[in-house]
Amino acid sequence: MITMKPIQLFPGVYKIGGALATRSLTPGFKVHGERLLEAGNAEYREWNPYQSKLAAGIACGLHALPIKEGSRVLYLGAAQGATASFVSDIVGEKGVVYCVEIAPRAVTDLIRVCEKRENMIPILADARKPSEYASEIEDGEVDVVFEDVADPQQAELLKSNARFLKKGAAAMLAVKARSVSSVEEPRKVFEKVKRELEEVFELVQEIDISSFEKDHEMLVLRKK
Ligand SMILES: C[S@@+](CC[C@H](N)C(=O)[O-])C[C@H]1O[C@@H](n2cnc3c(N)ncnc32)[C@H](O)[C@@H]1O
């Protein structure tokens, strides 16, 4: 355990001695071997931008984080729950993170994380078929949709999940150029994805995160 002073970057997100961190909702419990940091009477978890595209977006200059204390977040492509657990720290006990993941093996690990964190709900489902999990989402509505799915139809997938957002609500999309096209230049793929999203979303910020994840960018969007 390391003791240092946290500097707040966004509500719920801190910089501690050069490392990104969130205040842990479950002190003493590590999700994926992350370093634990102590400040005052609280425990923080180091959030590595090389292992999380959301952390990479923050490290690369995100202007405003739409995920806040109390937010209801639909997280598409939760895998074993590593990044989703940091989102869980940020939204806190009053928020909720619906974690959609298609791979049963990953969901087995995800469930272990969700057992420790009451604000995380595991959903074994295909994010391309939102009608199959719509009934699990309270009131059929969330504040933010976050997508990190390596699918050639990344934009379509996000658009189909926009049904859970009110007008003006936020979405974040980690675009993996190589999933859309293995031959096209990433810049061209990013332009194509943005065009596909235009019908449903307004672009708020586009962040190049390739210094942490090759051929990736993070889009911050607002539902039209
Ligand atoms: C890059 S990983 C996500 C990593 C995770 N967001 C994190 O930072 O901890 C992408 C995940 O999306 C899942 N996935 C792929 N296609 C999916 C789909 N159609 N629906 C739901 N999950 C999907 C994969 O099984 C994989 O676990």
Q: What is the pLDDT of residue 168?
A: 98
What pLDDT digit, counting tens, does each position of 2-59 carry? 567 899 999 999 999 899 999 999 999 999 999 999 888 899 999 999 999 999 999 9
Q: Are 95 and 72 in contact (CB under 8 A)?
A: yes
CA distance 66 to 54: 11
Indicate which atom in ligand 1 lies nearest the CA of residue 79: 27
The answer to whether the CB of 88 is under 6 A from ligand 1 is no
Residue 205, pLDDT > 90, answer: yes
The answer to whether the CB of 103 is under 6 A from ligand 1 is yes
What pLDDT digit, counting tens, does each position of 149-177 carry? 988 899 999 999 999 999 999 999 999 98
Indicate which atom in ligand 1 lies nearest the CA of residue 149: 12
The architecture of the domain spanning 2-46 is: 2-Layer Sandwich (3.30)
What pLDDT digit, counting tens, does each position of 111-132 carry? 999 999 999 999 999 999 999 9
Residue 211: other Cβ atoms inside 10 A: 12
Q: What is the pLDDT of residue 39?
A: 86
Cα-to-centroid distance, 70 and ligand 1 (Å): 24
What pLDDT digit, counting tens, does each position of 59-93 carry? 999 999 999 999 999 999 999 999 999 999 999 99
Instruction: State mean pLDDT over 137-148.
Output: 98
Cα-to-centroid distance, 220 and ligand 1 (Å): 19
Residue 191, pLDDT > 70, answer: yes
Q: What is the pLDDT of residue 1?
A: 53
The architecture of the domain spanning 53-223 is: 3-Layer(aba) Sandwich (3.40)
Of the two residues 79 and 178, the one the predictor is more confident about is 79
Ranges of each domain in the chain: 2-46, 53-223
Ligand 1, atom 13: nearest CA belongs to which residue? 77
Do the domains spanning 2-46 and 53-223 agree at the CATH topology level?
no
Q: What is the pLDDT of residue 5?
A: 85
Ligand 1, atom 4: nearest CA belongs to which residue? 79
- Beta bridge partner(s), residue 173: 147, 219
